A and B are shown apart, each in its own frame.
Chain A
Amino acid sequence: MNIAQRDKITRRPASQEAPLSRGAFQVVGTVTIWIWVGFNALLLIWVAVASLKDSTAIFSQSKAFSLPSAPQWANYANAWVDSSIGRAFFNTLGVVVIASVVVVAISAPAAYALSRFSTRAASPMTSLFAIGMGIPLQATVIPIFVGFQGVGLVNSLTGLTLVYIAAQTPFTVFLLTGFFRSLPFELEEAAAIDGASVLRSFREIMLPLAKPGLITALTLNIVFLWNETALVLYLVQDDTKFTLGRSLLNLATVATYTSNWGAMFAGCVIVVAPVLLTYILLGRRITEGMTLGAAK
């Protein structure tokens, strides 16, 4: 702060000018934020409304802003059955749930050992996992694709699940290391003095204590992987194995020829609804988990 600035601050009485300038910023800021929020809400509602409209009404000049005259539930049937969003939904559900559970199951013991054990390897291993968060998929996907071709894991939901587990491990280990580090040491020590084995004190004392962290990690992984489409684009060409993002892309591509816009927006709603529901139920976990690493 230079002297002129400091003088300005100290010389000015609290009641003058300052509240005015703060007020101006605050008013502009508040209005901008609510417009932004309004746009987000409106777009969400609009997509939902479009999913119930007749395809010809969605992009028509006169009916673009109107409500559907009669809700076209057929759009959903069309998306779910004819456009295979239903199959993609269950593919996604299976892959995402299995990958998320496995990634948390293998990351929890790793994070526990990295944060609590005193071997010389703990610190370099923690860094090694952290580096993984910066490795973009572009640097790994080509050998994975070729290698998977060799062992029949291309076009396979198993293959996709394996890559998802690996891809989410660095972040999950990082997140859980922070959680385990914050737990009190005393209980674990007491258990050890009472003769509990390391494995038992991990399973029966530390894991229950870390439960909020584990649930947060699980939720974040599910939400990330639910939307993941890039790896699917590389590794899955067979449309019976498509997951939601990929299937929706297909639906959108087909719609450019068939103008089946209604089904396309119904597909969007099917993809977003579970995430929206999770966000409403577990929003605090999601936001806290995502800021944990940054603001400790």
Chain B
Amino acid sequence: MSAVAAGTRTAEKGVTPASTVATRPRPGGGGSLSAKRNRLFWPFVLPALAFYAVLMLAPTVATAWISLQRWRAQGDPMEFVGLQNYLTLYNSDVFRTAFWHTLEILVVCGVAIFVIAFAMTMALREMKGRRAARSMLFFPYLISPVVIAIGLGLVLDPTGALNHALQGIGLTSLVKPWLSPDHIFMTLVVTIIWVSTGFYVLLLMAGVERIPRYYYEDSDLAGASAWQKFRHVTLPLTWDVVTVAAVLWVINAFKIFELIVAFSTLGDAPPLQSRTLAVEQYYMTVGGRIPAYAMGRGAAVGVLTLLLVAVSVVLMRRLMRRERVEF
């Protein structure tokens, strides 16, 4: 596909016929440069493919198989139980809570991140020192989630800065144990938004910076408000970037795991209030002080997670499909 596009590209530039022949696909064209190269296709791809197939694709298939078994890992004989593991999960309150938490994070954090990131991108566009600001907004995204959780402890500890500040300005009623089971999910949602937004600002800004300035100058002359400029210039012209960013968010949202584990520190499993599918799977299998090794059920969680990612990505792409605006 790419070679075809590339072939026509060189042809348009008017290079010698020999070179266009070289890059154009020629089915069965023995002896040409293209065929000589093509013989090296598999040797070039194979090392990467081998790692990917053995440690990503094959395990994914194996997970689907294990999810149909009752199995407590190495040494324990597998027992085929059909969809029993899925039924057990469906009937488990703990699992259902984790399932809804995962979707809540996906939707609530997702909407918040994109609204804030767009607003920030619009504001950054006309701001002095925007590169420095962008770098600092993005930095938390590059930090280990374990450090994020520990660092926020300074702020959110019962005697930490936030409660200190709330007391200081007389809002004593708002003083809360932010990391306690009753508040942890809220804290988690805000933390995820805080950590992730910078990355999406980065993505959206890369899209916005490609928009020619005169579109905005024209809108200014027409007296458009900030909202109108966003709605009629920025959004349509960055739509393809927004779509990719949305897909990336879906993929990333299901990966959130270490942050939650780190918030409750290790050993003790995180409270039910902060569990997601990823956390649930870990404590169902190898996590915790005395691991449960419920591999079959854990695998079922893995399969469901993969399905959720696939469905969300497809749904997202379908919902966001628009005619591409050329500019």
A residues adjacent to B (C-beta < 8 A): 1, 5, 9-10, 12-14, 16-18, 21-22, 25-26, 28-30, 32-34, 36-37, 40-41, 43-44, 46-47, 50, 58-61, 64-65, 106-107, 109-110, 112-123, 125-126, 129, 132-147, 149-150, 162-163, 165-167, 169-170, 173, 177, 181, 185-186, 189, 192-193, 198-199, 202, 223, 226-227, 229-230, 233-234, 237, 244-245, 248-250, 252-253, 256, 264-265, 268, 271-272, 275-276, 279, 283, 286-287, 290-291, 293-295
Sample 15 A-B pairs with CB under 8 A, ordered by A number.
Answer: A17-B223, A25-B122, A26-B123, A32-B123, A110-B44, A117-B40, A132-B52, A139-B303, A144-B55, A146-B74, A169-B52, A198-B36, A202-B44, A265-B150, A294-B244
CB of B323 within 8 Å of the partner chain: no
User: Which B-chain residue is minimally distant from A50 (CB atoms)?
Assistant: B154
Query: B281 — which chain A residues lie within 8 A by C-beta?
Result: 138
CB of B274 within 8 Å of the partner chain: no
CB of B87 within 8 Å of the partner chain: no
A44 to chain B, nearest CB (A): 8
A214 to chain B, nearest CB (A): 14
Given A186-B19, A293-B244; 8 other pairs, CB 8 A cutoff: A110-B48, A115-B3, A134-B313, A143-B66, A144-B59, A252-B266, A256-B265, A287-B134
| Chain B positions 135 through 153: 1 when the CB is less than 8 Å from some CB of chain A, otherwise 0 | 1111110111111001110
User: Which B-chain residue is minimally distant from A280 (CB atoms)?
Assistant: B135
A167 to chain B, nearest CB (A): 7
Establish whether residues A29 and B123, one from each chain, have CB atoms under 8 Å apart when the complex forms. yes
Cα-based distance from A144 to B57 in the complex (angstroms): 11
- Which residue of A44, A138, A290 is within 8 Å of B277 (Cβ)? A138
Establish whether residues B136 and A295, one from each chain, have CB atoms under 8 Å apart when the complex forms. no
User: Which B-chain residue is minimally distant from A133 (CB atoms)?
Assistant: B251
Cα-based distance from A177 to B44 in the complex (angstroms): 13
Establish whether residues B199 and A170, one from each chain, have CB atoms under 8 Å apart when the complex forms. no
Cα-based distance from A252 to B202 in the complex (angstroms): 32
| Chain B positions 106 through 123: 1 when the CB is less than 8 Å from some CB of chain A, otherwise 0 | 000000000000011011
Interface residues of B in 9-66 (CB under 8 A from A): 9-10, 15, 18-19, 22-27, 33-34, 36-38, 40-42, 44-45, 47-49, 51-52, 54-60, 62-63, 66
B residues adjacent to A (C-beta < 8 A): 1-4, 6-7, 9-10, 15, 18-19, 22-27, 33-34, 36-38, 40-42, 44-45, 47-49, 51-52, 54-60, 62-63, 66, 73-74, 119-120, 122-124, 126-127, 133-140, 142-147, 150-152, 154-155, 157, 159-161, 164, 199, 202-203, 206-207, 210, 220-228, 231-232, 241, 244-245, 248, 251, 254-255, 257-258, 261-262, 265-267, 277-278, 281-282, 285-287, 295, 298-299, 301-303, 305-306, 309-310, 313
Query: A144 — which chain B residues lie within 8 A by C-beta?
Result: 55, 59
Establish whether residues B147 and A248, one from each chain, have CB atoms under 8 Å apart when the complex forms. yes
User: Which A-chain residue is minimally distant from B244 (CB atoms)?
Assistant: A294
Establish whether residues B228 and A5, one from each chain, have CB atoms under 8 Å apart when the complex forms. yes
Cα-based distance from A43 to B228 in the complex (angstroms): 36
Cα-based distance from A244 to B146 in the complex (angstroms): 10
Given contacts A43-B154, A106-B51, A112-B44, contact A138 B123 (CB under 8 A): no
Query: A275 — which chain B residues lie within 8 A by C-beta?
Result: 142-144
Cα-based distance from A120 to B38 in the complex (angstroms): 9
Establish whether residues A169 and B51, one from each chain, have CB atoms under 8 Å apart when the complex forms. yes
Query: A112 — which chain B residues lie within 8 A by C-beta?
Result: 44
Given contacts A138-B305, A142-B285, contact A294 B38 (CB under 8 A): no
Establish whether residues B123 and A30, one from each chain, have CB atoms under 8 Å apart when the complex forms. yes
A296 to chain B, nearest CB (A): 9
Query: A173 — which chain B residues lie within 8 A by C-beta?
Result: 48
Query: A162 — which chain B residues lie within 8 A by C-beta?
Result: 51, 55
Most buried by A among B10, B220, B281: B281
Establish whether residues A117 and B3, one from each chain, have CB atoms under 8 Å apart when the complex forms. yes
- Which residue of B27, B45, B58, B254 is within 8 Å of A114 (Cβ)? B45
Establish whether residues B10 and A141, one from each chain, have CB atoms under 8 Å apart when the complex forms. no
Establish whether residues B123 and A170, one from each chain, have CB atoms under 8 Å apart when the complex forms. no
Query: A46 — which chain B residues lie within 8 A by C-beta?
Result: 151, 154
